């Protein structure tokens, strides 16, 4: 048994290895074996540690007689029953303290592994999730439950109203009723200095007739 309880950053690799070995269990299991099978890329050593810890393989990576018997079961119930014994034996210290360790919640498992192995919070969580996964494969519980993602807060759309400056020419022009626009025309008349009264009368008469009274 390893000095510390094993863990894996990718629990799926453990499931893949065990399911594969139930179909075909190689005589020797090494990191290279897992690479060839495409199991737990770059995390092969973690899976090897778990398999060694539960007694599926020995220190040299060779399959054990007990594991060969357990993994040869075709029926799921038979496999779970014998696999349960392997896991319970491997985690003897946990079951010695908690008779029904299968039912422990994540926090209690983390507390146990951190206290027992003096591990960090992260490693303790991985150790707990690894045990929960093995427990599931042995027919107990529903496996590690990932933390639920917090729902994203809905943001309320804010309508931005852009106001125009009060003295803006655009505002002033838009407020004018085009129908009431007035037009002022300034007319400058240069009277001839030598003109007489008749001349002046004719000029003003022409202005009145052609400009002032024009429609």
Residue at 209 is within a domain: no
Confidence band for 192, pLDDT divided at 50, 70 and 90: low
Give domain status of residue 188, yes or no: no
List pLDDT tens digits, range 83-109: 999 999 999 999 999 999 999 999 999
**Average per-residue pLDDT for the chain:** 81
Q: How far apart are CA 91 and CA 131, in angstroms?
A: 9
- Greater confidence, 143 or 32? 32
The CA dihedral of 2, 141, 20, 125, to the nearest 10 degrees, is -40
User: What are the CA-CA distances from residue 25 to residues 17, 118, 151, 190, 193 (Å)?
Assistant: 9, 34, 43, 120, 129
Q: Which helix (H) or strand (E) holds 32?
A: helix 31-37
Question: How far is the C-alpha of 125 from the C-alpha of 166, rounded, in Å?
Answer: 64
Residue 181 lies in a domain: no
pTM > 0.85? no
- Total domains in the chain come to 1
pLDDT band at 194 (very low <50, low <70, confident <90, very high): low
> Is residue 80 included in any domain, yes or no?
yes
In a domain, 84, yes or no: yes
Q: How confident is the model at residue 150 (pLDDT cuts 50, 70, 90)?
A: very low
Q: List the domain range (segments joined by +) for residue 47.
A: 11-137
In a domain, 77, yes or no: yes
**Burial class of residue 56 (count of CB atoms within 10 Å of its CB; 0-12, 13-18, 19+):** buried
CA distance 123 to 114: 8
Residue 120 lies in a domain: yes
Residue 45 domain-assigned? yes
């Amino acid at each position: 048994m390893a000095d510390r309880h094993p863990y894996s950053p990718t629990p799926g690799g453990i499931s893949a290895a065990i399911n594969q070995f139930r179909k075909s269990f190689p005589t020797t299991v090494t990191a290279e074996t897992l690479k060839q099978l495409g199991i737990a890329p770059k995390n092969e050593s973690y899976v090897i540690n778990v398999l060694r810890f539960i007694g599926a393989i020995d220190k040299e990576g060779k399959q054990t007689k007990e594991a060969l018997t357990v993994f040869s079961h075709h029926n799921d119930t038979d496999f779970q029953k014998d696999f349960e014994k392997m896991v319970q034996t491997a985690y003897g210290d946990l079951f010695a303290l908690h008779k029904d360790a299968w039912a422990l919640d994540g926090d209690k498992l983390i507390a146990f592994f951190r206290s027992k192995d003096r591990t960090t919070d992260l490693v303790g969580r991985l150790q707990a999730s690894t045990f929960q996964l093995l427990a599931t494969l042995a027919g107990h519980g529903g496996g590690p439950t990932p933390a639920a993602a917090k729902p994203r807060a809905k943001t309320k759309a804010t309508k931005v109203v852009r106001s125009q400056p009060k003295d803006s020419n655009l505002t002033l022009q838009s407020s004018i009723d085009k129908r009431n626009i007035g037009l002022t025309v300034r007319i400058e008349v240069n009277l001839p200095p030598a003109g007489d009264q008749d001349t002046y009368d004719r000029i003003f008469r022409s202005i009145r007739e052609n400009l002032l009274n024009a429609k």
